[in-house]
Amino acid sequence: MSEQVPGDLKYTRDHEWVKVEAGLARVGITHFAQAQLGDIVYVELPKVGATLTAAKTLGVVESVKAASDIYSPLTGKVVEVNPRLADKPELVNSDPFGEGWMIVLEPASPAELAGLLDAGAYEKVMAEG
């Protein structure tokens, strides 16, 4: 695995990543996604307490090129939102797997995690274009 696809994360076909920590799921967009978007200038995220549905829109990322929906990898309740992205949306470009994380979800069904891709499967998705 490469630094562009960390091996300890799970992924979606829509280029979101998930890191499970103590039963919670930290979510962001992948290095590939932010590279495709270009310079990110605005991130719209849900409020804490919002309920999200897997594969439905959780927010929007706007770049100098385009606006793009972000999709929730899991069904669950938002327990944390990255407050730094309001003032520094470029963190998604500079550190998509670290400081550029977007939300933390409390998954409604941990079994949904089994449906996410591992790093090897996600690399194949990227190769498909």
pTM of structure: 0.95
Sheet holding 67-71, edge to edge: 40-44, 57-63, 67-71
Instruction: Classify domain 10-117 at the CATH class level.
Output: mainly beta
pLDDT in tens, 73-103: 999 999 999 999 999 999 999 999 999 999 9
End-to-end CA distance of the chain: 18
Q: Where are the domains of the chain?
A: 10-117
pLDDT in tens, 7-42: 999 999 999 999 999 999 999 999 999 999 999 999
Least Cα distance to 79 among 111, 55, 101 occurs for 101
What average pLDDT score do residues 3-10 get?
Answer: 92
